[in-house]
Structure formats: C-alpha cells, structure tokens
A and B are shown apart, each in its own frame.
Chain A
Amino acid sequence: MARLQIDRVTKSYGELKAVDDATLDVANGEFLVLLGPSGCGKTTTLRMVAGFVEPTSGTIRLDGNDVTTLPPWKRNAGLVFQSYALFPHLTVNQNVAFGLEMRKVPAADMPKKVAEALRLVRLDHLGERLPRQLSGGQQQRVALARALVFHPDILLLDEPLSNLDAKLRQDVRVEIRELQRKLGLTTVMVTHDQEEALTMADRLVVMSEGRIRQVGTQHDLYERPADRFVADFVGRSNFIEGRIEAPGKFVSKGGLAIACADGPPGSAVLALRPERVAIVGSGEPADNRFEGRVEFLSYLGAAIDLHVRLSPAERLIVQLPNRPESAAPKIGDAVTLAWSRTTARIFHD
C-alpha cells in the first residue's frame, strides 16, 4: 500500500506526445480511474507506472521512492490485464504462486498464501485447473488473485472488465471494488467505459489527446465539467454555440436569447444536460422558455429521449422520466422547454 505521485510526466514518440505533462497524486488506499477514448494516453500512463514504458521526462514516485527508471520486476505492482494474461501452461495454483516464487518465499509457506489469495476471489476449489478450463470471469479472478498474493504496493488494472459479458461485468465490478476497499489497496484502473468508471472510482481522471482534462469525483465531473470535452464524455450534453453579448445574456447562432450565469463576453458554448431540461405548461414561469417541435423520439425504458427543434440551427435532446401517469409527447407535437439560468455550463473556446 502506498501513495503514487506522478509529477509532470511526458511520453513522446517522435513528434507525438502520448502523454503530455501529466501530474497526479493518488492517496494511499484510493481507487483512481483513468477515463478517456482510445489513444488518449491513459494506457501509456498506466504502463509508465507499471514500468513497461519509460517517461521522456518527469518523475514517478511510489511511497516516496523515485521509481521512474526502475524495471517492472522491481516495482512491486500488481497488474491485471484485459486479456487476463494467465500463464497457459501453469495451473491456477502455479499461476498465483509465480509472484511468490519470484520473491523467494519459502516453498513451505506458499500453499497457504496461494490458497488464501484464491479464497479472496472465491476460487480456492479450482487450484488444480489449467486456465483454459476456466470461464472468462474465473480467469479474471485468478489474474486478480495472482496480482494480490504478494501484497503489492499498488494495484494496476488495465481495462480488466472489457472481455466479460455485460451481466458478469457488473458483478465483477462490485467484487473488485469491495476487495480493494477491504485490503485498502491503492489502485489505478484504466477504462474507456464511463459507467464502469463512475461506479468504481473514488476519483476520476478524464484524459484526451495525451492531456489530463479534469481530475475529480463523479459529482465534480458531472456537475462542473472543466471543458466541453469532459461535458461531452462524462454523461451527455447538448451544446449550443453562440456569443455572450452582455453579462448573463447568451445569444445562440440560431438567434435564441438565453439567460445564463455571468461570464466574460465573446464567443462561447453552452452545455445543457438532457435530463435538466423540463417540458412545462404554457403558464409556468422560468428563466428560459422556448417553444419547439418534437422531431424524433427514442423510448429507452426508464426514460424517453425527445429531440426538439428550437430553431433552424438548434435541436436539443431532452430526457424525460418515463411515467405512466403523464403521457409523453409524440413526434410532431409542439412543446415548451424550460431551464433555469444556472443549469447550463458555459465554455469559452
């Protein structure tokens, strides 16, 4: 267990900066998730922490010690791969024992430690099997036991759930998280799946094009996205382009005058969460009210998405809870949308 500090780390491949000036501080016992689309630098960051990639500049500290140039086998990091990466020629027990062997743990102590680690993932009855005789979920748990058995300073998870089917993924998510809490393990996980990231993390790091866009809790990222990318990548947002003409007054390209929070005048983008826009009756007061027509409708089960045309240039997605007592509008219906001035976030490009 240890604190991980990544200080101004950059990794360049020629002209391309895979990771550009990343700084992160992961507290002891914290579960940090690196989130972003493929090619954003999250995996490179993880591989630098694991020791497979050497940073071009910057330092990485584990428990206060500079490990920037240390090879992977000297780092004491437990790694779980997307492909599980179990040794196919070794049994489950031998797979789990591998890290202990490398650490010269006396042979007499090994069976007990291996059994203990397998019990953590509830697979102690399958120790004699070969990896190919296990299901994907079981293989993933063996990989986890193998990474935990030698008490690593840090646990690194590289898209650990993406090869599992949807139902199993939800179970394993909870399982990994509970185990991590119980052991108080500092953990860094990489994923491109925002739902996975939101459900598992203590804190999240959103990356794109090699840069860290925002670091924060789920609430921070959702309620106060730092830029347009984060507002789009975490949850969904409607974006309305236009200008701030006067303090609190935004005029869209399509000519809508929208009341918003104060900001410096100039060209700007307004971001609006689909579920924060309401459909109101004609008499109800609101900061912003706009008439529109429903052009498209998606039935999602728990909710309904309406695509509402407000002006030739603007169409908003509005998400309504699906309630039997209130009839949802149909395609072609005229509706009135409303939201308060503080609902929208403003980004200056």
Chain B
Amino acid sequence: MAQGRIDTRRLGRFALRGVASLSMAYLLLPLFFVTWLAFFAQEIPSFPPEGYSFKWFRAIPGNDRFVSGFLLSLEVAAIATVIGLMLGVPAAVGLVRLRFTGREAASNLLLLPLVVPGIVLGIALYVFHVEAELMTELPILGSFGGLIAGHVLIVIPWTVRLVTASLVGMDRSIEEAAQSLGADRLTTFRRVTMPAILPGMVAAAMFGFISSFGNLEMSLFIVGPGRTTLPIAILQYLEWKIDPTIAAVSVLQILFIAAAMLLTDRFVRISRVV
C-alpha cells in the first residue's frame, strides 16, 4: 500500500515536470528560432543554414529607420511610463482607499485598454483624433502628443493594477502608526506608503514600458508621417524584404527587454509583485 502511494506521488511529479517543460518549450521555441535565424549567412532564410554570420547585426546601426525607430520607441515608452505612473498611482490610491459609488466601474474602466484589442483601440483613437482636430482646429492627428497620449493609455492599466495589488497587500496600520507619530497625510504617503508600494510601482513601470515599447497595432493608426516607432519600422521592412535583418533586430529587442527585466529584478523581486 505504502509503496503504491509513493509511486503515485513520483508519477505525479514526473507528469508535472513534463507538462511544465512542454509549456516552457512552447514559449521559448519561437525565441530560439528567431535567434538562430539571425545568424544565418544566406539572405533568403531556408534550412539547413548555408553558414553563419554576424553581418545582419552589423547592418543594423547603418539602417536609419531602425536606429531612429528604436530611439523614438524608447522616448515614447519612457514618457508614457512616467505620465502613466503619475496618473495611475493616485488612481490606484483612490480606488483602494476611498469608498464611492461607481468605484467598481471605474476600476474596470481603467483596466479596459488591456482587454480591448490593439487594432480597435487604434481605430478608436484615430477617429477621436480626427474629430478632435476638426473641432479644435489644433494639430492633433499624427502629432507626437497624440502618440504619447495613446501610449499612456496602455501604460495605465499596468500601473493601476500593480499598484492596487501592492496597496491592498500592505498593512494599513503602518500608515496610522506614522500619523500617530506626527506625520500628516502627505508626509505619511511620502515616507511610509510610497516605500511600501515601490516594488509595485517599479514593476508597473517596467511592464508599462515594455508594452508601450513593443506596441504595434495601436501605434499604426496614430503615428504621423516620419514618426516611425521600432515595431512599425520592422513591419515596413518586412513588406519588402525577408532577410535575417529582422531576426537580428528582434534579438536585440529581446536582449534589451531582458536586460530591463534583470535590472528591475535587482531592485524588486518581480515574482513577488506579479
């Protein structure tokens, strides 16, 4: 009997490991092939490779569209993340701390951009920009500000969600302790609440940044002429060529994001927040 039970348990463990390995492989396989492809020597990707080369990586710095696309994506994501945090953190505090009618609705509304497909979001914003420009006669359509505003929209769900999670998980009595020790509301927030939700804020910034940096579908609709983000530059390149340059750019993008995650993880254990 006892022997049988141990065997079942061991079997269960094997099964769990098997399923986990399969899922991991499923997730990592595309990354593996993209990375492999980036080093192929021939121009038309085909198997088996005819040789290996670094030339596609060397070609990237010479390609203006990729370089300026990368810089623009970086700029947009950074600005959108900062604004997203400035809006999302107070919103999260309000949602967690205040009791008002429509709180649930407001909370769901702020998470909506995460659920709505990027294409739909893009079209909606495009139509909105057109209408707004007609009404105000301000140059909104295709402007840098319009692009930023759109990206703020995809950062906000991350900031609201992750900061809400850390606020809910925090012991409120430490705020009361600070107040009883002589700290007013603002000082309490600055000295006690902020440090407590900092991991959530850092994680929110990172996820917001990544989803903005990699966003293609929405950006397609709201970028103006000459304002090409990296994902759009990649798409445009793909329309004419299918050489491994794209794979090389993707590898660099993956490395960039991985570096950002590792860096963040040094300050905050990501697994603790997400």
CA–CA, A77 to B174, complex, Å? Answer: 15
Q: How far is the CB of A46 from chain B (nearest CB, A)?
A: 11
Partner of B177, one of A75, A87, A103, A150: A87
B residues 191-205 in Cβ contact with A at 8 Å: 191-192, 195-196
CA–CA, A219 to B187, complex, Å? Answer: 46
CA–CA, A51 to B177, complex, Å? Answer: 12
Q: Is residue B173 contacting chain A, with contact meaning CB distance below 8 A? A: yes
- Chain A residue nearest to B174 in the complex (CB): A85
Report whether B173 and A81 are in contact in the complex, using a CB–CB cutoff of 8 Å: yes
Partner of A99, one of B173, B182, B187: B182
Q: Which residues of B contact A347 (CB under 8 A)?
A: none
Per-position contact with A for B172-184: 1 when CB-CB < 8 Å, else 0? 0110111111111
- Count, chain B residues at interface, CB 8 A: 17
Report whether A71 and B181 are in contact in the complex, using a CB–CB cutoff of 8 Å: no
Q: How far is the CB of A81 from chain B (nearest CB, A)?
A: 5
Q: Is residue B137 contacting chain A, with contact meaning CB distance below 8 A? A: no
Report whether A73 and B173 are in contact in the complex, using a CB–CB cutoff of 8 Å: no
Q: Which residues of A contact B184 (CB under 8 A)?
A: 71, 73
Q: Which residues of B contact A75 (CB under 8 A)?
A: 180
Q: Is residue B171 contacting chain A, with contact meaning CB distance below 8 A? A: yes
CA–CA, A52 to B178, complex, Å? Answer: 12
Q: Which residues of A contact B187 (CB under 8 A)?
A: 102
Report whether B181 and A89 are in contact in the complex, using a CB–CB cutoff of 8 Å: no
Q: Which residues of A contact B173 (CB under 8 A)?
A: 81-83, 85
Q: Which residues of B contact A76 (CB under 8 A)?
A: 182
- Chain B residue nearest to A50 in the complex (CB): B180
- Count, chain A residues at interface, CB 8 A: 29
Q: How far is the CB of A219 from chain B (nearest CB, A)?
A: 33
Partner of A81, one of B177, B192, B196: B177
Q: How far is the CB of B16 from chain A (nearest CB, A)?
A: 32
Partner of A150, one of B178, B182, B196: B182
Report whether B196 and A88 are in contact in the complex, using a CB–CB cutoff of 8 Å: yes
B residues 152-198 in Cβ contact with A at 8 Å: 171, 173-174, 176-184, 187, 191-192, 195-196
Q: Is residue A55 contacting chain B, with contact meaning CB distance below 8 A? A: no
A residues 85-134 in Cβ contact with B at 8 Å: 85-89, 98-99, 102-103
Partner of B183, one of A73, A89, A156: A73
CA–CA, A99 to B174, complex, Å? Answer: 13
CA–CA, A89 to B192, complex, Å? Answer: 8
Q: How far is the CB of A113 from chain B (nearest CB, A)?
A: 14
Which of A74, A77, A102: most chain B Cβ within 10 A?
A102
A87-B174, A88-B196 known; A79 and B180 CB under 8 Å?
yes
Report whether A87 and B176 are in contact in the complex, using a CB–CB cutoff of 8 Å: no
Q: Is residue A146 contacting chain B, with contact meaning CB distance below 8 A? A: yes
CA–CA, A117 to B173, complex, Å? Answer: 22
CA–CA, A79 to B174, complex, Å? Answer: 11
Q: Which residues of B contact A71 (CB under 8 A)?
A: 179, 184
Q: How far is the CB of B48 from chain A (nearest CB, A)?
A: 55
Q: Which residues of B contact A87 (CB under 8 A)?
A: 174, 177-178, 191-192, 195
A85-B176, A87-B192 known; A99 and B171 CB under 8 Å?
no
Report whether A79 and B182 are in contact in the complex, using a CB–CB cutoff of 8 Å: no
Q: Which residues of A contact B171 (CB under 8 A)?
A: 83, 85
Q: Is residue A160 contacting chain B, with contact meaning CB distance below 8 A? A: no
Q: Is residue A36 contacting chain B, with contact meaning CB distance below 8 A? A: no
- Chain B residue nearest to A143 in the complex (CB): B177
A89-B195, A89-B196, A102-B187 known; A78 and B174 CB under 8 Å?
no
**10 pairs of A and B residues whose beta carbons are closest in the complex:** A102-B182, A99-B181, A79-B180, A85-B173, A85-B177, A72-B179, A89-B195, A81-B173, A85-B174, A73-B182
- The 11 listed contacts between A and B (C-beta, < 8 Å) are A72-B179, A74-B182, A75-B180, A81-B177, A86-B174, A87-B191, A87-B192, A88-B196, A89-B195, A143-B177, A150-B181
17 other contacts beyond A85-B171, A87-B177, A156-B180, with CB at 8 A cut-off? Answer: A51-B179, A71-B179, A72-B176, A72-B179, A73-B179, A73-B182, A77-B180, A81-B173, A85-B176, A85-B177, A86-B177, A87-B195, A89-B196, A102-B182, A102-B183, A102-B187, A146-B181
